[in-house]
Amino acid sequence: MAGKRVGPDGEDGVEQVLDELYATPPSDFVPRREQAALAARSDGRAADARRIRAARRPTQAAWAANLLLRARPQESRRFLELGQALREAYRTLDADGVKELSEQRRSIVSALSRQAAELAREAGHRLSDATRQDVDSTLRAVLADQDAADRWAAGRLESALTPPADFPARSAGTPAGGRTERARAEAPRPSSRKKDELAERRRRRQEQLDAARRAAEEAGRLLRELRAARADAVSTLQRARERHDLAEQRRSTAEEELRRAGEELERADRERREAEEGLRAAGDAVERAERTARHTEKEAARLAGPAD
């Protein structure tokens, strides 16, 4: 699998730019490409600018497959290793073994395809049913064909891949155990041929069983990892939803408390104004009473004075 590439000068170069471009959603691909090409040209890297501008926008399915490779490197590496093991196993298996591995292959492709769809959705792009089928087709091709596996491992698919009609079979003229026509020509004479053929069939059968067992175990491990990763994603999403709901509840509670506090503030302000008005009215009444009292005292003193 292609990892992070480094330019000859020891710094991140055009290869990293191209890797990131092919993990960019198709709707943003062209603007990002032109921006990167302009930056390279401005830095005096005309050759890099031409390479970047030559990059072709991937289809939605190809982008999802590229995104899966970058976002799930461990699962993708195991998937590529599984493809190699399956291709080898298919060269030696009998019909029953092929059927068993085919069922496991479908389960693994389906699990990885779901992960690609989830990654695309997290990036803000929901895959259509047709696009999901193209992603499935690409993953099946990666398992069945070495060239398709190499193209996906580079992380720069431009379009979906098409799987071959079936897994590669044994080459013509080569028996399951790998013996050529020349080897058969050099086989022992008829007197011991029957015994040797029986031993050869047993050896071939054991090779088939060993290859099937290894491929089945690898497929089972990868499938368990994919299911565990999906369960972790579901659990993370559930926790995020719970945190969101709790925050929403707290916000609603805070808004309700704020509304009640506002009402209490308005009520307190109204009571304060009424109290101030009452205080002013009481002050005016006291002043009037004091004036009346002073006038009454003066009048009483006048009347109580000596007569003429």
Residue 179: the pLDDT is 42
pLDDT at 119 over 80: yes
Cα separation, 170 vs 45, in Å, equals 49
Amino acid 27: pLDDT? 92
Mean pLDDT on 108-136: 92
- The predicted-structure confidence for 156-169, as pLDDT tens digits, reads as follows 999 999 988 766 55
Average pLDDT over residues 81-98: 73
Q: Are 292 and 299 in contact (CB under 8 A)?
A: no
What is the average pLDDT across 130-142? 94
pLDDT tier at 3, thresholds 50, 70, 90: very low
Give yes or no for residue 227 having a pLDDT over 90: no
Write the pLDDT tens digit of every residue in 42-66: 999 999 999 999 999 999 999 999 9
Q: Given pLDDT bands bounded at 50, 70 and 90, which one contains residue 10? A: very low
Asked if residue 2 has pLDDT above 60, the reply is no
The reported pLDDT for the residue numbered 244 is 77
For 211-237, b/e burial (b = at least 16 CB within 10 A) is bbeebbebbeebbebbeebeeeeeeee
Kindly report each contact of residues 96-101 with a partner whose C-beta sits within 8 Å and lies 24 or more positions away, as own/partner.
Answer: 97/208, 97/209, 97/211, 97/212, 98/167, 100/212, 100/216, 101/212, 101/215, 101/216, 101/219
Of 34 and 218, which is predicted with more confidence? 34
Provide the pLDDT for residue 36: 93
pLDDT band (50, 70, 90) for residue 176 = very low
Say if residues 6 and 13 touch (Cβ distance below 8 Å).
yes
pLDDT of residue 29: 94
Out of 56-70, 195-209, 266-280, which region has the weakest mean confidence (pLDDT)? 195-209
Looking at residue 12, its pLDDT comes to 58
> In whole angstroms, how far apart are CA 90 and each of 18, 108, 167, 198, 211?
35, 17, 7, 22, 9
Between 26-42 and 46-54, two packed helices, what is the crossing angle to 10 degrees? 170
Higher per-residue pLDDT: 285 or 21: 21
Q: What is the pLDDT of residue 298?
A: 81
- Greatest mean pLDDT among 19-28, 246-255, 298-307 lies in 19-28
For residue 139, the model assigns a pLDDT of: 94
On the question of pLDDT at 149 being above 90, the answer is yes
Most confident of 86-100, 101-115, 211-225: 101-115
Q: What is the pTM of this model?
A: 0.55
